[in-house]
Structure 1
Amino acid sequence: MANFRISVSVLFCIVSAGLAAGQDGGPFGASQGGMRREMVPALFIFGDSLIDNGNNNNIPSFAKANYFPYGIDFNGGPTGRFSNGYTMVDEIAELLGLPLIPAYSEASGDQVLHGVNYASAAAGILDITGGNFVGRIPFDEQIRNFQSTLDQITANLGAIDAARSLAKCLFFVGMGSNDYLNNYLMPNYPTRNQYDSQQYADLLVSQYDRQLTQLYNLGARKFILAGLGRMGCIPSILAQSSSGGCSEEVNQLVLPFNANVKAMMNRLNVNLPGARFIYIDSANLFEDIVTNAGTYGFSVVDRGCCGIGRNRGQVTCLPFQTPCPNRDEYVFWDAFHPTEKVNIIMARKAFNGDISIVYPINIEQLANFDIEN
């Protein structure tokens, strides 16, 4: 990571959550511009390709999206986001009054003042996940990268001020999809022969518990955990179906993981003093969008906007491939990832939705929650 030297006078100057200059308006009127209140000092992001914004660009990996038509609707063009535009965390950052959060691979100097995105396409909770794509940054390594950032912050602020600031920040974690799609469901991985669905979920969440506790021990207090969506309904899985319908086998497969994550979250909220974890029910969100597709303006719920083969899901979006022109009518951008419009809808519902979507409180309430150290 590029060297960054940050003076005490500027680093986390946003801790006061004062007014900051607004960025250019986001898509669908996400921002109104002008001055806006920053609800939290910073947003730190951990995850996979659903929220990666360029960390895989310069590593030897087959999991990259730094080419057109990825980013076709994003102001910066192809950046490494696996979307036609915004990811879910881009919209969440704007709703919090923050600028877009930079990728760890590119963040330097004052760029880290509002947080860092450590997410990596093909990454999983398990280090072995995503090996078919060669290079990726697993969750354990993402945590080490955060620790590197934290070491720099602590060196400038001192341990007490750094900890006080960090306790007010939000930590978004979206892990687990690849542990199924690019591990358990891959024929060249042994895990499916070693574990049934419940045993595998137990393995994953045991590791996940350790990793989140490690972040807590580094000073994180406010956590947003994203559950797994209905992965049996993504174009890649649909393309393998003889009936063309969702794979209920895959949908059922991930249910124990989501159940375990909720139980873990409740346990951590009790056992980790001062911590506050919330859970985004991605499966319920997706179900709502598909069931009420017309209400949201969607007309295509089972095919990618960009891709090749059945459901445009057998081969994902290729360089300079021409995508569908009516992208706002598609739920899926490519074989695996939602369109910008879906990302924004999900972010907004997670931000101020009720307990059927985000539990036990929403992101807005978490941002305003006063953590007692």
Structure 2
Amino acid sequence: MLFFSFLAIPCFRKVVRGEPLVPCYFIFGDSLVDNGNNNNLKTSAKANRAPYGIDLSRTWPSGRFTNGLTMVDFIGLSRFLSTCFDILYEQRILVKLNDPNDFIYTKANSQDLGFADLIPPYATASGDDLLRGVNYASASAGIRQETGSNLGVHISLDDQLQNHQNVTKAIVASVGEAKATKLLNSCLYTVGMGSNDYINNYFIKRSPASRNTPEQYATLLINQYSSQLKALHGFGARKFALFKLGPIGCTPFAIASSGKNACVQEMNDAVKIFNDRLRPLVDQLNSAFTDAKFIVVNGLAMPTDLPSWINVVVANTCCPTDPTGLCLPNSKPCHTRSIHAFFDGFHPTETVHRVVAATAYRAYLPTEAYPTDIYHLVTS
């Protein structure tokens, strides 16, 4: 199986920024963006131990299912993503100058949300932290309440929405209803859910969900997802970025479990049905809520037209894994983390998270975002 990774380049020069493009950033999701909410839950789905976070600064909290930062960290942090954008789009210009139909991006366009610090997890956020956003993501969580129960306690999307409602009440109590409404209307809300509804629900043997056809199950998920997004709108959200699901049948764990050394096409086909329904869902929500803007970004789906500045690597794990696909506790990971696609059996390395953040924030290929990218969502 082939995946993509970011061309190793220096991206950590000092960057001076003013105010963020949005006053706050709220994050809903699963283990791909969980930054510590599962640390104290009774579950096997937690990453608050080595070798997870091996490349993180000691001042940053543990709990991420990768070696460093995640895509939502990169989308928010100015001192990392901006210079990566500069180099990224320079590379895109170089490879596309001969095509007059392509847009040519310049350094003036390369910008990020501009937060000076990481968005904190809900588990530890309090006080003024709430005013700049919260990460509610929980490993093993899904759109459906029962999803992930095979691994232990988790915070489903419904529960994450309840946590967000609690935060909005705290914000109202802190700054007043009028100011809180204006603040919440201006924030960015990213939602990446659904992978566990397949991995830790539909494709579990004898799961009640597996009695549905893939088309029926996708319909169930989309209908529930639509209701959840409408509820989030009711809490004041107006700028929504939804992430598509990645090719879960091409994770190292799925490939190893198949015994065929190949992607599990049945899993990828099922996920594709869900992904294909996200664009019509975005159209429906944009029509229903004219005061809001909904977009869908490609996320961790494999691009079909890779520019020359992206390397293609073999998708083996960077750390030794246990039978569940997670890194063995305190095991020694590979030294070539910057060119690996996957850190463990399910989760990408920081390298891939950086690419996903860049392409979601400033889309280049038509398949990367619809109807626009995150940058235009927050600046229009």
Match of 2:185 in 1: 167
Q: Does 1:91 align with 2:102?
A: no
Using a 3 Å threshold, how does the CA distance of structure 1 residues 358 and 28 change in structure 2: closer, same or farther? farther
Using a 3 Å threshold, how does the CA distance of structure 1 residues 302 and 43 change in structure 2: closer, same or farther? same
Inter-partner Cα distance in structure 2 for 1:212 and 1:326: 39
Contact 2:120-2:129 within 8 A present in 1 as well: yes
Contact 1:185-1:192 within 8 A present in 2 as well: yes
1:257 pairs with 253, 271, 274, which one? 274
Match of 2:57 in 1: 75
Inter-partner Cα distance in structure 1 for 2:349 and 2:118: 18
Inter-partner Cα distance in structure 2 for 1:183 and 1:314: 15
Q: Does 1:367 align with 2:373?
A: no
Match of 1:57 in 2: 39
List runs of 5+ in structure 1 lacking aligned partners.
1-26
CA-to-partner distance for each residue in 1:41-94, whole Å, 9 max, x for gaps?
010000000000000011111110000110001113661000100101000011
Q: Does 1:142 align with 2:160?
A: yes
Identity %: 42
Match of 2:303 in 1: 287
Task: Tell me by how many angstroms 1:36 deviates.
Answer: 3.1
Q: CA RMSD in A?
A: 1.9
Task: Tell me by how many angstroms 1:329 deviates.
Answer: 1.3
CA-to-partner distance for each residue in 1:156-186, whole Å, 9 max, x for gaps?
2222221111111000000000000000011
AA aligned to 2:223 is: S
Inter-partner Cα distance in structure 2 for 1:75 and 1:297: 26
Inter-partner Cα distance in structure 1 for 2:12 and 2:192: 22
Using a 3 Å threshold, how does the CA distance of structure 1 residues 143 and 171 change in structure 2: closer, same or farther? same
Task: Tell me by how many angstroms 1:337 deviates.
Answer: 0.5
Task: Tell me by how many angstroms 1:153 deviates.
Answer: 0.6
Contact 2:43-2:152 within 8 A present in 1 as well: yes
Q: Does 1:303 align with 2:310?
A: no
CA-to-partner distance for each residue in 1:293-347, whole Å, 9 max, x for gaps?
x843453x321111338xxx86420111111110011101110000001000110
AA aligned to 1:92 is: I
Match of 2:122 in 1: 104
When structure 1 is superposed on structure 2, of 99-108 and 182-191 the one drifting more is 182-191
Inter-partner Cα distance in structure 2 for 1:239 and 1:329: 21
List runs of 5+ in structure 2 lacking aligned partners.
1-8, 78-111
AA aligned to 1:131 is: S
Using a 3 Å threshold, how does the CA distance of structure 1 residues 46 and 275 change in structure 2: closer, same or farther? same
Structure 1 outlier segments of 4+, above 6 Å: none
Inter-partner Cα distance in structure 1 for 2:295 and 2:143: 18
Q: Does 1:318 align with 2:328?
A: yes
Task: Tell me by how many angstroms 1:226 deviates.
Answer: 0.2
Contact 2:321-2:327 within 8 A present in 1 as well: yes
Contact 1:67-1:78 within 8 A present in 2 as well: no
Contact 1:298-1:328 within 8 A present in 2 as well: no
Contact 2:148-2:200 within 8 A present in 1 as well: yes
1:189 pairs with 204, 207, 224, which one? 207
AA aligned to 1:339 is: T
Contact 1:231-1:237 within 8 A present in 2 as well: yes
Contact 1:52-1:118 within 8 A present in 2 as well: yes
Contact 2:254-2:263 within 8 A present in 1 as well: yes
Using a 3 Å threshold, how does the CA distance of structure 1 residues 31 and 180 change in structure 2: closer, same or farther? farther
Contact 2:21-2:114 within 8 A present in 1 as well: yes
Question: TM-score under structure 1 normalisation?
Answer: 0.86
Using a 3 Å threshold, how does the CA distance of structure 1 residues 60 and 87 change in structure 2: closer, same or farther? same
Q: Aligned residues, how many?
A: 335
Question: TM-score under structure 2 normalisation?
Answer: 0.84
AA aligned to 2:272 is: L
2:355 pairs with 345, 348, 367, which one? 345
Task: Tell me by how many angstroms 1:108 deviates.
Answer: 1.4
Inter-partner Cα distance in structure 2 for 1:41 and 1:200: 37
1:336 pairs with 346, 349, 352, which one? 346
Inter-partner Cα distance in structure 2 for 1:335 and 1:226: 20
